[in-house]
Amino acid sequence: MKRTLLHNVCILLGSTLSAVVLLPADASAHLVTTGMGPVYDGIGHLLLTPEDLVPALAVALYAGLRGRVPGKRALFFFPVAWLIGGFIGLAANTIPAFPVSAFSFILVGILIAADLRLPSSVFTVLAITVGIMHGFFNGIALKAGPAGLGLLGIMAALFVLVAIVSAFVISLKPPWTRIAVRVAGSWVAAMGLLMIGWFFRGQA
Amino acid sequence: MKNYPGRINLSIYLSAWALLLLWASPALAHVEQGQAVGFITGLEHPWSGLDHVLAMIAVGIWGAQLGNPALWILPVTFPMVMSLGAMMGLLGIPLPGIEIGIAVSAILLGVMVLGEIRPKLYIAAVMVGFFAIFHGHAHGTELPAGQSGLLYSMGFVIATGVLHGIGILIGTIHRWPAGKMALRGAGAFIAVMGVIFLWQAVT
């Protein structure tokens, strides 16, 4: 009997948590119009959306901290995963109200701050997961505007962004520069925590 | 086929979950306003309170006095725990004696700098983290209406980090004997200011 009760409580808690996290919200698109076509509109969207730009920078920073092999993997897998997620998003209708992207802020931010040495394969999976997730939200947002071409623009921008940022971090030699990157990671994690707080406050 | 109560409940919960998931809403286009202002507000906010400014600079100076790894562990610890404090505020979890806690943080951090006190690393980190909760709770939630919470948080966290950086930069004079004395003087100043903040908080 006890086991059944516990089982039900677990299901109830799990369902409630899932419902809160995945509760669909209005897809309030706020698209950037550059006047230079859908590809640039997509790039503008990425650069002016901190919910996407910061995790992308964070993945590039972490890839740079880990060295050349993870850096090269992130350079190719991350933008492609973002594009795939984007095309999936183009077919979707709703986004969760909960700021799911906060998890990528927190996770990648902590990895940078702790300078944790994940195996290359695990890092690749992480980069792909983050890429697909953010791409998915981009796909939903861009559906009403630049759509597929916008996603291609984002992918190209991500490729350049990851290449420049991760190569820059790899080139850092003085110890204090790596420390500065780790401090930036702690800021990213802090922003992620605050995103969740603002969600519950209703001012995300 | 038997019907267990647990299985029926599971079906109800999963159905409710699926219903919520599939509840479609329209895509509403709108013009964004006040977003950049949120970032600027967050960036400015830490500079508007002398208590916060002095405590953050003290963290940086103390880290510089302690040297590696405290030099970076303290500034890494502070924003993450500060955001937890802010999250408590955002969730409506009250924290008693916030102003007193902030004033005491200035006093204790000032005393640490004044005395160049070198506790074990984890004690320094716990101390800084403890006070970060008060600073986060007090300042991290003061978002003006209509502005973006995320951008406010970004500005706030970055400005706090910059204050730590200023403290660390000031702390680099620690390598010279006169610099050491100057840092101790700065610690004394911060501690005295902390006493004034405490006085204001309790009266």
Chain A residue whose CA is closest to B77: A186
Domain presence at residue B159: yes
Where is average pLDDT lowest: A64-68, A133-137, B29-33, B37-41? Answer: B29-33
Q: What length does chain A have? A: 204
Quote the number of domains for chain B: 1
- A99/A28 Cα distance (integer angstroms): 14
Which chain A residues are Cβ-neighbours of B150 within 8 angstroms? 50-51, 99, 191, 194-195, 198, 204
Task: Name B185's Cβ contacts closer than 8 Å, sequence gap at least 6.
Answer: none
**CB within 8 Å of B193: residues ≥ 6 apart:** B50, B51, B54, B106, B110
Listed by number, the residues of chain B in 95-134 with a beta carbon closer than 8 Å to a beta carbon of chain A are none
Residues of B in contact with A191 (CB under 8 A): 83, 150, 153-154, 157
Cβ–Cβ of B83/A25 closer than 8 Å? no
**Amino acid letter, residue A100:** V
- pLDDT tens, A86-135? 999 888 877 776 778 888 899 999 999 988 888 888 999 999 999 999 99
Using the Cβ of B143 and the Cβ atoms of chain A, whether some distance falls under 8 Å is answered with yes
Structure tokens at A177: 């520069």
**Phi/psi at A44 (nearest 5 deg)?**
-60, -40
Q: Is residue B4 part of a domain?
A: no
Say if the Cβ atoms of B20 and A30 lie within 8 Å: no
- Taking the C-alpha atoms of residue B24 and residue A33, their distance in angstroms, rounded to an integer, is 26
Cβ of residue B153 closer than 8 Å to a chain A Cβ: yes
pLDDT band, residue A12 (cuts 50/70/90):
low
Look up the ipTM and state it: 0.71
Measured in angstroms, the CA of A109 and the nearest CA of chain B are apart by: 10
Task: Report if residue B27 sits inside a domain.
Answer: no
Of all residues in chain A, the one with the smallest CA distance to B5 is A4
pLDDT at A8: 61
Domain with B122, as residue range(s), is: 35-202
The candidate with the shortest Cα–Cα distance to B142, out of B42, B36, B39, is: B42
Report yes or no on B189 lying in a domain: yes
Is B17 part of any domain? no
